[in-house]
Amino acid sequence: MNKQLTILLIGRIITNFADSFYMIATIWYVKNFTDSTLLVGITSAIGILPVTLQFLYGPIIDRFSKQRILYFSVIGQALLVGMISILYFFDAIWIPLLLFLMYVALSFSEITYPTESALIERLTKRENLTKVNSIFAFSYQSLDLICNAISGLLITFIGLGFIYLSNSMMLFLTGLIFLFYLKVPRSDKESEPVSSGFFEQYKKDFIEGYRIVRKQKILLNILFGIIGINFMATMGIAMLPIISNNAAEYGFWLTAMSAGTLIGTSLSSKLENIPLNRLIPMISLLSGASWIFSTIFNEQFLISYVLFGLAWAGIGVLSVFIYTLIQVNLPKDYIGSGFAFLTSLLGSLSPIGYLLGGVLGELTSEYAILLIAGTGYLLFTVYFLSNPLLNKINHGLLVQLEKSNS
């Protein structure tokens, strides 16, 4: 990778590390303070809600300096997490205010993802896209793994206040890295003269970005299936703090998720030439079966974590593939808008999934919800194989979907 990609990667690693820590800390605080399955589900839903609003950022990402967008978003996030740490140390945390500050901080964080994806596409040769996406995913999943493995211990022995404060400091550091070291060439769209006002131009770019995305019929068919997976998976993820007896056990579940995702992202570039109509259903079937068996064998301490990690290995492959498919199939000057629209679409039902998981967890069994969540991957396998547009994708990852179908 070139120097600018390396700087971008370093910034992504630090922010991802900080995001994970303060999100876990907030969920665990709400769980301990309220002991309510429903409120844990609501907290998780609020945490994922900013993803659904990413489509609003698209025109801004394509039109303005991506370096400045990254800098201001990370610094804004650092200020908000710093406020949470101050409230904690003065014993002045009010849960509605905590959730509001977390929501706004994560809203700042969400604009960085499509911005960085647009930069990866701009700074990388087409034939290296899968490899670079895999490196990015592998690197920050590695730190996610460490974060999840030690989060329970840090919460227990160091305390939530220190976690919030250190996260704020890490985010400030990342902002300075982006400000002084990240140098990105201006895109054609950034250099275009703008004759109209901000809101008029924003509206024009927004509509154009939507039209570009709407033309990607095969890609949208894949993403509609992934939306269903995300919806059901988030129902299950919302149950993990509930079935955990302590913070360390919750950390073990999160570690299994990160370890599995890490393995999957590291393997993804080696699978890019396998026809998608064979590979994607096979991976989804493996993930679903592993998730279900991890729930069935939940009393077997090690086996359940290994199986859950195996399920997330498949999810890791799918996540890299989805990012690469978006980058390959969208026009260069609309990568930011396209990513913002499509990631909003992917996360559109996730808040409802977290909330519904909390509600159903109160009414039924946490383990029943986890079983239902695992079936989502099996249903996606059936959907992919029975969809006439998708079962004909007999080529690898780096071929444009619409061209191959014409």
Q: Which residues contact 324 (CB under 8 A, 6 or more apart)?
A: 129, 130, 133, 272, 397, 398
State how far the alpha carbon of 113 is from the alpha carbons of 16, 68, 159, 270, 365, in Å. Answer: 10, 14, 29, 24, 35
Backbone region of residue 330 per phi and psi (left: phi > 0; alpha: psi in -120 to 50; beta: other values):
beta
The distance from CA 227 to its chain's CA centroid, rounded to whole angstroms, is 13
Burial of 245 (C-beta count, 10 Å sphere; 0-12/13-18/19+): exposed
3-state secondary structure of 279: helix
pLDDT digits (tens, 9 = 90+) for 247-293: 778 778 888 888 888 888 888 888 988 999 999 999 999 999 999 99
Nearest to 130 by CA among 332, 345, 274, 258: 274
Percent over 70 (pLDDT), the chain: 91
Q: CA-CA distance, 114 to 338, in Å (whole number)?
A: 8
Task: Show the tokens assigned to 404.
Answer: 């191959």
Amino acid of residue 228: G
Domain boundaries, the chain: 3-183+198-405
pLDDT digits (tens, 9 = 90+) for 165-182: 888 998 999 999 998 988
Q: CA-CA distance, 193 to 186, in Å (whole number)?
A: 13
- Asked if residue 163 lies in contact with residue 38, where contact means CB atoms within 8 angstroms, the answer is no
- Asked if residue 55 lies in contact with residue 340, where contact means CB atoms within 8 angstroms, the answer is yes
Q: CA-CA distance, 389 to 139, in Å (whole number)?
A: 34
The CA R_g of the chain, rounded to the nearest whole Å, is 21
Residue the block writes with tokens 């967890």 = 361
pLDDT at 131 (0 to 100)? 82
In this structure, the number of other CB atoms found within 10 A of the CB of residue 1 comes to: 16
pLDDT at 75 (0 to 100)? 95
Q: CA-CA distance, 283 to 64, in Å (whole number)?
A: 38
pLDDT in tens, the chain (406 residues): 688 888 888 888 888 778 777 888 888 888 888 878 788 878 877 887 887 777 777 778 877 888 889 999 999 999 999 999 999 888 888 889 999 998 999 888 888 877 887 788 788 887 788 788 778 776 666 666 666 667 666 776 777 888 888 889 989 999 999 989 888 777 666 666 666 676 787 788 778 878 888 888 898 999 899 989 988 998 988 888 888 877 778 778 888 888 888 888 888 888 988 999 999 999 999 999 999 999 888 777 789 999 999 999 998 899 888 888 888 888 877 777 777 778 777 777 778 888 888 888 777 888 889 999 999 999 999 999 999 989 888 888 888 887 656 5
- Asked if residue 270 lies in contact with residue 396, where contact means CB atoms within 8 angstroms, the answer is no
Nearest to 73 by CA among 48, 101, 110: 110
Task: Show the tokens assigned to 221.
Answer: 């068919």
pLDDT at 356 (0 to 100)? 86
**What topology is assigned to 3-183+198-405 in CATH?**
Growth Hormone; Chain: A; (1.20.1250)
Helix intervals (H) in 35-94: 37-48, 58-63, 66-89
Nearest to 262 by CA among 326, 346, 319: 319
State how far the alpha carbon of 376 is from the alpha carbons of 116, 168, 403, in Å. Answer: 29, 36, 30
pLDDT at 209 (0 to 100)? 77
3-state secondary structure of 131: helix
pLDDT at 307 (0 to 100)? 94
Amino acid of residue 86: I
Q: CA-CA distance, 230 to 220, in Å (whole number)?
A: 15
Q: CA-CA distance, 353 to 103, in Å (whole number)?
A: 17
Describe the chain by its helix, strand, coil percentages, rounded to 5.
85, 0, 15
Q: CA-CA distance, 232 to 396, in Å (whole number)?
A: 27
pLDDT at 111 (0 to 100)? 85
**What is the pTM (predicted TM-score) of this model?**
0.70
